[in-house]
Amino acid sequence: MKRVVTVQDISCLGKCSLTVALPIISAMGVETCVIPTAVLSTHTVFKGFTFHDLTGEIAPVMEHWKKENFRFDAIYTGYLGSFEQLELMKKLIADFGGRETLAIVDPCMADNGKLYPGFTQEFAFAMAKLCGKADIVVPNMTEASFMLGVPYRAGGTYDEAYLKKILRDIAAMGAKKVVLKGVEFPEDQPSFKNVAGKIGIVAYDAEKDTFSSYFHDKVNQNFHGTGDIFASVFTGAYLRGLTLEESYSLAADFVVEAIKETISHENHNWYGVDFEAVFPYLVKRLEK
Ligand code: PXL
């Protein structure tokens, strides 16, 4: 069985970070070790959340694991709350990474043109340095723009040439593969056809200098935690041996299924999606 270590916070209620990564990756048949970075009563979109920092535990956990000679097939980092945690993640990748260990970094810190509460442009540049140590990074357009220090351009306002430059510039920071989420073109592009009115993923493989993509119908509702669900399914799928394209397509499809399930209930909650109800879909797709 493949084994991943994922590092992110525990938002006790909120359906994001570790409370989605652990069930999803485990359900995909991959052993999921965790390093919790903090305990929050909820994610930071709620008002009045409590916060208990666990940064001091990270190095001791890593030291113990080194003594035990544990190995991981992948390291997957998500929401990180401080510069110190970014440095610790570089050390985690340096100490446990290598040819047999994939480093996946989700630079989870922004969406819809804005940084999440508590984050700064300086943090985004520091996150870009962590992304430079990764094999695969999975930013959305907002995160990519902040990491590059360029103005955010909303979906549908850019063309293929602009998008390809963003992907190449992110890869130039060091990552081998860039999986960019939430891409929307206003109309068909030279290499991306049948994309008008759709949303999708464009990925860049820097070693091969090739682009690939997956576009699907847009569901007009934004939910919190879907980026974490995407990164978790992507990680699980890739470790289960799916190709890069198959992995991000499955991740996107699963997020859409979870959103559709959520909005099919009249009094659905606003803070996260009902991914728990669509696990059968995920498992069936993996069996194919
Ligand atoms: O879903 C990303 C995320 C994870 N963890 C915490 C968050 C957020 C987004 O705001 O606040 C604590």
Mutate to test the pocket of ligand 1, among 44, 46, 50, 226 (most ligand atoms within 8 A of CB): 44
User: What residues flank ligand 1, with Cβ below 6 Å?
Assistant: 9, 11, 16-17, 40, 43-45, 79, 108, 116, 224-225, 227-228
Mean pLDDT of the chain, nearest integer: 97
On whether the CB atoms of residues 182 and 140 are closer than 8 A, the answer is: yes
Please give the average per-residue pLDDT across 172-197, as a whole number: 97
The Cα–Cα gap between 258 and 254 comes to 6
Of 137, 142, 136, 103, nearest in space to 119 by CA? 142
**Per-residue pLDDT tens digits for 86-145:** 999 999 999 999 999 999 999 999 999 999 999 999 999 999 999 999 999 999 999 999
Specify the pLDDT at position 220.
Answer: 82
What is the DSSP track for 216-237?
A: EEPPS---TTHHHHHHHHHHHH
Residues 131, 134, 140: CA angle, nearest 5 degrees: 50
Query: pLDDT (tens digit, 9 = 90+) per residue, 186-221?
Result: 999 999 999 999 999 999 999 999 999 999 999 988
Predicted confidence band of residue 288 (pLDDT cuts 50, 70, 90):
confident
- Given a cut of 80, whether residue 146 has pLDDT beyond it is yes
What sign does the CA torsion over 44, 50, 56, 62 have?
negative
Domain range list for the chain: 3-287
Give me ligand 1 centre to Cα 186, in Å: 30
Confidence class of residue 281 from pLDDT cuts 50, 70 and 90? very high
> What atom of ligand 1 comes closest to residue 228's alpha carbon?
1
The CATH code of domain 3-287 reads 3.40.1190.20
Work out whether the CA dihedral 169, 194, 222, 285 comes out positive or negative.
negative
**Ligand 1 center to 146 CA (angstroms):** 17
The Å distance, Cα 163 to ligand 1 centre, comes to: 26
What letter does residue 194 receive in the DSSP assignment?
A: S
The protein residue with its alpha carbon nearest to ligand 1, atom 1, reads 225
